[in-house]
Amino acid sequence: MSIDQHRKRIAIFGSTGSVGTQALEVIAANPDKFSAEVLTAQNNEDLLIRQALKFSPNIVVIGDEKKYQKVKEALTSAPVKIFTGGEALEEVAAMDCYDLMLAAIVGYAGLKPTLNAIDKGKAVALANKETLVVAGDIVMRKAVEKRVPVIPVDSEHSAIFQCLVGEMRNPIEKVILTASGGPFLGRKPNFLVNVKREHALQHPNWNMGAKITIDSSTLMNKGLEMIEAKWLFNLKPEQIRVLIHPQSIIHSMVQFEDGSIKAQLGLPDMRLPIQYALAFPKRIQNEFPRYDFKKISSLTFEEPDIRTFRNLALATEALHKGGNLPCIMNAANEIAVYAFLKNRIGFLEMTDVIEKTMQKVSYISKPTLEEYFDSDGEARTYAADIIHL
């Protein structure tokens, strides 16, 4: 049997982002185990071209149609099929040229390709939390129907997933999502009112893309993760707790009904949960730095300050109320973060935009997929109008 028949064929949707580039590091380090069959990017055509020349994928998709010609010309001599546009992303997701999709497109844009992959019976390594925040009920119902594994890539959800291996028959009392607290841990509103984008983009522990880093600084990221955890692990809202853990060594914990707590520990390095998801159910050797208990003096924990970081309170409300409210919140947040990164609104104004949008857009308790799409569009329009985008 040839080596290719042993290799898992990976489709990386969002290959030029933080998760995508680190996934390619894992693939490059394990050429006997993985191949990169599909690479996609929205705007970063230069990096996509370099990745395609190095990894020789079957298919490349550049989302921005204006950049198609440049990609096509650069890859003329490479045996690569090149597509462009949002519809192409969805169509490629439904193709049979790969075994596992790494869903690493940031934001709402990742939803349709992920649904198409599941519909075609493809395993999904999920790094796009917004897919479950927006339409978790529909996505997970389809995954169960198609018997498709959805393996989380987020470090927190990967930790919970790892803690639950071998425990499926044992009821969970609660899960504890840990959070670093971001760059503004302990700060109060009178400080945050003056925060600029360059301050918010300086995460103390993790190297992530701009959108996720801003979400981390406002604690919205943790709010989105609570909603994602509900769907991934079939939990009730009251079973999900957030705890600030500034050292980011314990990535999350699970408490069982007997009181026992299992935790997954490691240095803050996204390559580890990425590798775990790609290789699951196997663990494979790597050269990543190891955690040394002798070098860490203490691991500390504290309750999140939801009076200052009100995004976490808004996300908790959306988690408990359900329906299309998480979808509305996510859409408003994406617009608010975009505006903040463009220096159009202040740090604390992001929360105001999200709160007003959640109050304004009509609530639907059991939305269809079409109603989720409509709610997303309506929320984006309303949020953009507030900001005068």
- CATH architecture for the domain at 3-152: 3-Layer(aba) Sandwich (3.40)
User: Do β-strands 8-13 and 240-244 pair in parallel, antiparallel, or remain unpaired?
Assistant: unpaired
- Using pLDDT thresholds of 50, 70 and 90, give the confidence band for residue 377: very high
| Segments making up each domain of the chain, as ranges | 3-152, 157-381
pTM equals 0.93
Rounded mean pLDDT of 143-172? 96
- Using pLDDT thresholds of 50, 70 and 90, give the confidence band for residue 212: confident
- Using pLDDT thresholds of 50, 70 and 90, give the confidence band for residue 2: very low
59 membership: H or E segment, kind and range = strand 59-62
Tokens representing 361 are 């857009």
Q: What pLDDT is recorded for position 107?
A: 80
For residue 321, give the nearest of 372, 358, 375 by alpha carbon: 358
What 8-state DSSP symbol labels residue 319? H
**Amino acid occupying residue 146:** K
DSSP string, 194-255: T--HHHHT--SS----HHHHHHHHHTHHHHHHHHHHHHHTT--GGGEEEEE-TT--EEEEEE
Residue 300: count other Cβ atoms within 10 Å of its Cβ: 9
pLDDT digits (tens, 9 = 90+) for 49-96: 999 999 999 999 999 999 999 999 999 999 999 999 999 999 999 999
pLDDT at 342 over 70: yes
For residue 257, report the phi and psi dihedrals to the nearest 5 degrees: -70, -15
CATH of domain 157-381: 1.10.1740.10
Q: What pLDDT is recorded for position 223?
A: 97
pLDDT digits (tens, 9 = 90+) for 221-253: 999 999 999 999 999 999 999 999 999 999 999
